[in-house]
A and B are shown apart, each in its own frame.
Chain A
Amino acid sequence: MKYLSEYRDPAIALALIERIRRIATRQWTMMEVCGGQTHTIVRHGLDELLEGAVEMIHGPGCPVCVTPLEQIDKALALAARRDVIFTSFGDMLRVPGSDCDLQQVRARGGAVRVVYSPLDALELARRNPEKEVVFFAVGFETTAPANAMAVWRARELGVRNFSVLVSHVTVPPAITAILTAPDNRVQGFLAAGHVCTVMGWTEYEPIAERYRVPIVVTGFEPMDILEGMLMVVEQLEAGRHVVENQYVRSVRREGTVPARERVEEVFELVDRKWRGIGEIPMSGLRLRDEFAAFDAERKFGLGGIVVNEPAECRAGDVLTGRLKPPRCAAFGTRCTPEHPLGALMVSTEGACAAYYNLARHRIGESQGVTT
């Protein structure tokens, strides 16, 4: 596939690994903030291949994982209603809420459908006027333009039975929160390539300068990740700390302006709770009042949900890089993909699931993990 397969060229990847190893005079610690990048790293064993030169701490880059429990519970409540067709991206179906998950709601008779695009959900609403169609609008800034357009289009077309349950989060405040934590060890960042495709990288410049960390906007293929890591290491070795762009085929400094404009038109910034981490100010999106008719929370009067979260799961520590999943006491024993304690073991992008499914053989023996 063009502009995809070439970036998996093993010869180039190995050359990049070799070069990183050669120029690193010590081990550097960096973080990637995107689940898709985590997936590539663990899937291709990139962290294994760079042991000693680069330590990767996997950041909170999985919007599925950080969706607050309250939002999941609201989704479950909506999906259980007889008059609702609840639509969602596939990732969300097995995330545990306080009581069950969307797949179980479906088993009990709820109309739950996986869609590929929010526009498909809108189309479903148009074809089923007697039902309410709700779309679970989860994601980072990458997905916000799609969700914004679905809402905008619904208004244009006068569709009355469509609404979205919003759980959007934004990346820069999370990076800042990580950098200001007293025990922070992260020295450089790989910024999320598709988030920055939409938003550009201007928001990261003040962060790089203030906290003196290199930030490299990076793609998702093995070659992209390795090149991004190389650029971070080069900066660290040279004592520089600026924003650079590795993902040049897709990202420009100003991003995709029409997309940013539509997001700005439909959404506003609010404080947002990140599951497992806590509240980060101005890190979430909410539909503006003009679009309230399409906000499922306001439309269905969902509020005052009491959540039930006992705390054996250490998602927060994993999300902020304090804990590698295999070191969690519940990893592989009380917490597995079939019986997950938290979202990170369910979502395919969650760090815990990534380690369990792909890499536990590397740590299995020493941890006594049952496979």
Chain B
Amino acid sequence: MTAIATSGLTCAVPIATADRVQLGHGSGGKMSASLIGELFVRELHNTALAEMGDGAVVTAGAEALVVSTDSFVVSPIEFPGGDIGSLAVHGTLNDVAMMGARPLCLTAGFVLEEGLPMATLERIVASMARAAREAGVRVVAGDTKVVERGKADGLYVNTTGIGTVDPRCRPGPRGARVGDIVIVSGPIGRHGMAIMAAREGLGFESTITSDSACLVPLVERLKASGTRVHVLRDPTRGGVASALNEIAAASRVAIALDEDTLPVPDNVRAACEMLGLDPLYVANEGIMLAIVPEAHAALALETLRSDALGADARIIGRVTSTPAATVVLRTGLGGTRIVDLLPGDQLPRIC
């Protein structure tokens, strides 16, 4: 029997920085952060951009406005629980709301693929109009381009939102303080898994629907209740884990999560088990994280739960001081583990 050779230990050449854009650069993980930091912020640098919040604050005379933009490239463009049209409205309105601001209006830019069925486009636009109407916000400007067959996956949309700063409520990623409580407004993992299920190739049927929703009314309630809100963030791509990591880094704190309290619906959990995915990294489009001072936690919970959208709100952790810029999870068994930013996308695994 051959014993294991200790000489000739081998290893791969390290992969240096990528010379091309990869899918991981858009995942919301470390590659994204590094692309944004090393290229975009460096080239375009200004203080508003460097804040890296959900949106930026700009002043026009005496008026302070919030501006936020988002591009939507989801595939398939229609999925259980929503479509790219309503998603584009909800997503940008939510980003404006996460700054504590009240949305004023939206713009919408479309890139359409040659050959996209007109009936599909009509459905998407109608859905977008409905979502805007329900939110009480108008789409005031737009643009349409068409590209050749084979590009744009059917349809890409960019929406930009403008809102007015609310002096009562100016949450931001640097606002978390030691002792604060971390609350999530609803169950996690629905949107990302609904998309996965709808994608060909992984071939599973499920009852999972996207949670795509407009969070503006929920935020308005929170503001009206007098709750002091330090941070608001909607955990979209990269999931709760990525959002909390960014906040922990920006605020220079640690965030301690309790695994037992994470609200994961059964069907999401089942789908994640099958593919070896962690619900903490799965995208959400209709929930938010609220970090509030401990004294305001009960009020925050009660307020959120008084709205249908926040009915399942619960406390999932607290802000501590060490290890700095890290999210740590206490497991059901009392052990601990780090919840780190992933380099790129979470990949389904078999191991």
Contacts and interface: CB of A to CB of B under 8 A. Distances in A.
A361 B323 contact: yes
A74 B263 CA distance: 43
B332 interface: yes
A309 B10 contact: yes
Interface stretch (A25-33, A43-51, A292-300): A43-51
B347 A313 contact: no
A348 interface: yes
B298 interface: no
Contacts of B18: 104, 107
Contacts of A337: 30, 342-343
B13 A96 contact: yes
Contacts of B273: 1, 4
Contacts of A89: 348-350
A103 B326 CA distance: 28
> How many of chain A's residues touch chain B, expressed as a range?
35 or more
Interface in B329-351: 331-338, 340, 342-344, 347-351
Interface stretch (B1-9, B126-134, B207-215, B232-240): B1-9
Contacts of B44: none
Interface of A: 1, 4, 8, 10, 13-14, 17, 35-36, 39, 42-46, 48-49, 62-64, 69, 72, 89-91, 93-101, 103-104, 106-108, 113-116, 120, 139, 143, 176-178, 180-182, 222, 275-281, 308-317, 320, 322, 334-335, 337-343, 347-349, 356-362, 364-365, 371
Contacts of B349: 89-91, 348-349
A114 B200 CA distance: 11
B325 interface: yes
Contacts, number: 206
* Most interface-central of B6, B203, B266 (chain A CB within 10 A): B6
Contact of B4 (A44, A100, A181, A347): A181
A108 B20 CA distance: 8
B120 interface: no
A140 to B, nearest CB: 9
Nearest to A60: B4
B60 interface: no
Interface stretch (B21-29, B166-174, B176-184): B21-29
A329 B103 CA distance: 52
A93 B23 CA distance: 12
Given A98-B13, A116-B202, A316 B1 contact: no
Contacts of B276: 90, 348
Contact of A44 (B14, B333, B340): B333
B97 interface: no
Given A177-B4, A341-B11, A342-B11, A45 B22 contact: no
Contact of A116 (B9, B275, B334, B337): B275
A22 B200 CA distance: 51
A296 to B, nearest CB: 19
Contacts of A116: 201-203, 275, 348
Given A64-B351, A115-B201, A361-B328, A313 B11 contact: yes
B9 A45 contact: no
Contacts of A100: 15
Given A49-B334, A348-B351, A357-B338, 4 more contacts: A14-B334, A45-B331, A99-B13, A348-B347
B141 interface: no
B1 A177 contact: yes
